[in-house]
Amino acid sequence: MPVSAISLESLTKFFPPARTGFRAFLQPFERPSLPALQNISFELRDAESIALLGANGAGKSTLLRILATLLLPTSGRATIAGHDAVSSPRAVRRSLGYHAGSDQGFYARLTARENLLFFGRLNRLSTSAARDRVSQFAAQFELAESLDRQVRTLSSGTIQRLSLARALLHSPRVLLLDEPTRSLDAIAAASFRHFLKSHVLRPGKTSLLFASHSLAEIELLADRVAVLQHGRLIALDTPAALQRQSSASTLEEAFFRLTGHPHESPAPELRS
Amino acid sequence: MISFLRELWLFFLRDLFIAKSYRSPFVMEVVQALFGTATFYYVARFVESPQLRQSLPQAGGYFAFALVGFVFLDYLNAALDTFDRSLEEARDSGTLEHLLVTQTSLPAILAGSALYPFVATTLRIAVYVVWGALFFGFPLHSANWFAVFLVLIVSLLAFSGLGIFSASYLLLFKRGNPAKWFLLGISSIVGGMLFPVSILPDWLQFIARLNPITYALDAMRASLLGSIHLRDILHPLAILLLFAAILLPLSMFAFAAALRRTKSTGTLAHR
């Protein structure tokens, strides 16, 4: 039986409450009591793309960060390519690429090439393989002119593409993207989405789990949409099926009906 | 092991390239070392007396004694500072999370991030000694360079454990580190930096013997100034190795536990 790209079984995450004043000193030892994810279960199949859709605080980033081994779940199980995110984090990291959607996370005084080579080699690529991949991606990701410039001189859009290139350098089986077009203008965002569609998804070798507030992005990239609300998975289906289920004419309308928001006054972050 | 060393080299190159992108600090540090060496020389001339010379364990007078003490305390300072400064920089620049999602092990990330600062500190120490030798008569003719090298490596291992403890504290509590400042304060009093430990009262000498800097300084002064054979410093080297054998695994355990805790509380990237 083929192993799912991602499998989640009753994944639950609680955070401790934030403390201030002298009690902040005991913050690291606070008992986790605030729910962020509750009993999330679903599977991401090979070469499939699932979008995580939900208002701020719905648990999208928390889920992605657990899968990226940056957070530990409170209970439940998450596996990537058959490896448990808690007990085999290094095996998990071999199979995933993670792009946090911000234009941070690079060494600003190093060039784009030096950054890519550094992270590529930390992901077990040989020097020559890393160089080859960087050259290949520079052409594919329209980074050739930026490759030998310090990252601090690059635009947000270029850094986003650089970050995606970093996530894909070691040919991971699963790609995790957290609001990948968050800091991009409309033109750069559209270009980034089409790039993702044609260069990452179309070859059919990479499974994608991504969080987004942009419905245009979700409609273009996602095979299925997981709707999260207050840390719970309230729906998971194709965009067309979600619209059918909620008798909605658009995905936006379907989202508002599923989450109980009045459609006339959408949450500001969901206006796309 | 080869893969571990390869990763260390990658981190070293990363920090070297970053340092190269800022050119002036290196020149300024070299000049600053000259001023520092000159200050010690003139203070030594001011306080030097036959009685003082007699109370020092090695040749070279008070200037050589104090200069080695001062620059070697810098080594302890670097060890205590390097790990948490690297961690703080990585956290603030957003690279920490991206390092942690690579396939590199935690020990490689920690050791790799400390490698360049240690090499840079070693070079800074060398610059002080070179200025001392060139202009102020610091005696290098009696140095046993192999012993100097060994003392540096073993001290680095012993001090690193303290530095990793310090980084674990930073990971959990985000700011400051009272243990670091306490240790540096204690070391400057009882470590034998500017005066021999033998002049301290018994109870302070006892505290001095619990501090790795005391053994590191003894061994370094003997290696640089004492015309010694390697066997003459086996005792302080063995004690430093013992410190390293206890502190390194314990500190790695503490760091892994602190990392696990921050991954559990979701505060890994918090400042």
Contact A98 B101 (CB under 8 A): yes
Confidence of residue A211 (pLDDT cuts 50, 70, 90): very high
Contact B17 A114 (CB under 8 A): yes
- Best of B101, B168, B170 to disrupt the A interface (most A CBs within 10 Å) is B101
Contact B98 A96 (CB under 8 A): no
Contact B93/A at CB under 8 A: yes
Catalogue all structural domains in chain A, each as residue range(s) with its CATH number: 6-103+173-270 (3.40.50.300)
Instruction: Flag the least confident range among A2-16, A234-248, B40-54.
Output: B40-54
Contact B18 A110 (CB under 8 A): yes
Tell me which chain B residues have a C-beta less than 8 angstroms from the C-beta of A96: 101
Digit-coded pLDDT (tens) for B57-113: 777 788 888 888 888 888 788 888 888 888 888 888 889 889 999 998 888 888 898
Contact B24/A at CB under 8 A: no
Nearby residues of B233 by Cβ (< 8 Å), 6 or more positions away: B147, B150, B151, B218, B219, B222, B223
Nearest C-alpha in A relative to B168: A28
**pLDDT surpasses 50 at B252:** yes
Contact A110 B103 (CB under 8 A): no
Pick from A42, A37, A38, A49: which is nearest to A7 by CA?
A: A42
Instruction: Flag the least confident range among A56-70, A80-94, B70-84, B93-107.
Output: B70-84
pLDDT greater at residue A236 or residue A271: A236
The 3-state secondary structure of chain A, one letter per residue: CCCCCEEEEEEEEEECCCCCHHHHHHHHHCCCCEEEEEEEEEEECCCCEEEEECCCCCCHHHHHHHHCCCCCCCEEEEEECCEECCCCHHHHHHHEEEECCCCCCCCCCCEHHHHHHHHHHHCCCCHHHHHHHHHHHHHHCCCCCCCCCEHHHCCHHHHHHHHHHHHHCCCCCEEEEECCCCCCCHHHHHHHHHHHHHHHHCCCCCEEEEECCCHHHHHHHCCEEEEEECCEEEEEECHHHHHHHCCCCCHHHHHHHHHCCCCCCCCHHHCC
Q: How far is the C-alpha of B29 from the C-alpha of A221, rounded, in Å?
A: 53
Nearest C-alpha in A relative to B102: A123
Tell me which chain B residues have a C-beta less than 8 angstroms from the C-beta of A166: 98
Q: Break chain B into its structural domains and give their ranges.
A: 2-265
Contact B261/A at CB under 8 A: yes
Q: Which of B17, B18, B103 sits opposite A122 (nearest CB)?
A: B103
Nearest C-alpha in B relative to A118: B10
Digit-coded pLDDT (tens) for B132-178: 999 988 888 888 889 999 998 899 888 888 888 888 888 888 776 76
